Amino acid sequence: MTARSFSPGWSTVLSRHRLRRIGLRGACLLATLAVWLASAADAGMPPVAVNGQIPTLAPLLLQVTPAVVNIAVLSGAPETDNPMLRDPFFKRYFGGRERGHPQMSAGSGVIIDAQKGYVITNHHVVSGASEIMVTTKDRRQFQARLLGSDAGTDIALLQIEPTDLGALRFGDSDALAVGDYVLAIGNPFGIGQTVTSGIVSALGRFGIHPDGYEDFIQTDASINPGNSGGALVNLRGELVGINSAILGPSGGNVGIGFAVPSNMAQKVVAQLARFGEVRRGRFGATAQDITPDIARALNVSPNEGAMVVEIVKEAPADKAGLRRGDVVLALNGRPVRGSGDLRNQIGLIPVGDVAELKVQRDGKGVVLRMTVEDARAGAATGRQTMTELAGARIGTLVRGGQPEVVAVVEVDRGTSAWNLGLRPGDLIVGVNGRKIHDVAALIAQLRSPDRPLVLNVMRGEFGITLVLKS
């Protein structure tokens, strides 16, 4: 394509006179935008215009920015707050707040359903909130209701009054490629709605929050404190990510920001809207990445798939026929890029759904169907309550006639157990690193003189630790 294919303005911009004024780098950028604009026009994409001789994203932003909101959160630390905050060692990692003193914080959010008033944001933005206020671009304020929140993916769903709202449509984050242009929209430092631009710097980043489900989009679009929960959009005006984290020694932007992919966020939102939480099921197998040595030994492609190394007896993976040494290549038609990706995908499959696993076994392709089972331990026996975990009903999960693990059957909101962090379906596998199999062993450990007490908990397919100090 030559300059003659564009509007007369572009011919002028790319003339020798203009090249001398804007420099080679600027000319290359303008040429790139010109090619994109021409192809966008042919594809009927949203308006990214040329105003005179200057390319502008203003028409596109005019459409998408009304769907991005500011979120103000009022939170306090009541007497039943997380027991970790009463320990000076942990307290300093939570900002040193004192109980009884309300705190204000700010973040961002995105309206994803104008008819229902659904607003998506980060879990960490609204965690512990006693009051949430949403402010739209036109400065209208709405009291928000928290429908549900998921710490594992750092996604939360709010609802506001659906009055004359704009909404963003989800884009396909799996279609992103490194180098794609993206825009970050949010409320950095609480100063008001701000738009920054950049590219997709990397895909599939993990290790930012090791206990969570991670598949981050990395971008160099400026993301700062307060941008959390805001929108990452492509040049079609589609929501491709929810801005979540930054990596910077000073706490500010250094060109390394992370967003939760839209495809992951959509699956989480669907469960939050239905259940108020993400109900993760049991898979019952562990896997490892495919190293070059393993790839040569098994004749598979390196850095693709995940090799099964352990299977729990009578778990869904076992019932489906999965074997040690199998290489899982795809799940429900989506390629598996490694053990972390396999864990992420399984963690977002609703309980009761049937997952199709494409597996390589002994050099041959095998397709297995696995029903994801509920990890809530409905068959747990001997449900009990105890003062140390007030508000929770605990039972022993028995398999094959033998006690296997302690299960949390129910937890009342606002109780000590809830504020500690226990949730229905959690499996308490140990206390202070000591393995337990039944409620009697749990009670004995909780009443031991050791302090503080650390509960070793499995939630879905990942482990967490909860600190209990009495």
Give 12-35 pLDDT, tens digit per residue: 333 333 434 445 545 555 555 554
Q: Phi and psi at residue 425, in whole multiples of 5°?
A: 95, -15
Class of residue 76 by CB neighbours under 10 A (exposed 0-12, middle 13-18, buried 19+) = middle
Percent of the chain predicted with pLDDT > 70: 75
Q: Per the residue annotation, which of 75, 149, 222, 228 is the catalytic one?
A: 228
Q: Per the residue annotation, which of 108, 123, 124, 149 is the catalytic one?
A: 124
Would you say the CATH fold of 381-468 matches that of 57-278?
A: no
pLDDT band at 213 (very low <50, low <70, confident <90, very high): confident
**Catalytic annotation on 154?**
yes
Triad 461, 467, 469: Cα angle to 5°:
155
**Catalytic annotation on 228?**
yes
CATH number for region 281-374: 2.30.42.10
Give pLDDT, residue 32.
52
Report the amino acid identity of residue 280: R
192 pLDDT above the threshold of 50? yes
CATH number for region 381-468: 2.30.42.10
168 pLDDT above the threshold of 90? yes
Instruction: Find out whether 151 and 172 touch, Cβ atoms under 8 Å.
Output: no
Instruction: Find out whether 229 and 125 touch, Cβ atoms under 8 Å.
Output: yes
Instruction: Find out whether 422 and 364 touch, Cβ atoms under 8 Å.
Output: no
Give pLDDT, residue 34.
53
Percent of the chain predicted with pLDDT > 90: 24
Give pLDDT, residue 419.
82
Q: How would you list the strands of the sheet with 118-121, edge to edge? A: 141-143, 129-135, 68-75, 103-113, 118-121, 155-159, 145-150
Determine how β-strand 373-374 pairs with β-strand 281-282.
antiparallel
Question: Mapped to the 3 state alphabet, what secondary structure does 128-160 carry?
Answer: CEEEEEEECCCCCEEECEEEEEECCCCEEEEEC
**Catalytic annotation on 17?**
no
Please give the Cα distance from 351 to 333 (Å, whole number).
18
pTM: 0.65
Mean pLDDT value of segment 197-219: 79
Domain range annotation of the chain: 3-56, 57-278, 281-374, 381-468
Q: Per the residue annotation, which of 150, 154, 341, 438 is the catalytic one?
A: 154
Give pLDDT, residue 253.
64
Determine how β-strand 462-468 pairs with β-strand 453-459.
antiparallel
Give pLDDT, residue 134.
93
Q: Phi and psi at residue 363, in whole multiples of 5°?
A: 80, 0
5 pLDDT above the threshold of 50? no
Mean pLDDT value of segment 108-126: 93
Give pLDDT, residue 363.
80
CATH topology of domain 57-278: Thrombin, subunit H (2.40.10)
120 pLDDT above the threshold of 70? yes
Give 354-394 pLDDT, tens digit per residue: 889 999 888 888 999 998 876 554 445 556 677 778 888 88
pLDDT band at 469 (very low <50, low <70, confident <90, very high): low
Give pLDDT, residue 276.
85
Give pLDDT, residue 425.
76
110 pLDDT above the threshold of 90? yes
Instruction: Find out whether 461 and 343 touch, Cβ atoms under 8 Å.
Output: yes
Give pLDDT, residue 30.
52
Give 289-308 pLDDT, tens digit per residue: 888 888 888 777 777 888 88
Triad 165, 168, 171: Cα angle to 5°:
165
Mean pLDDT value of segment 82-96: 41
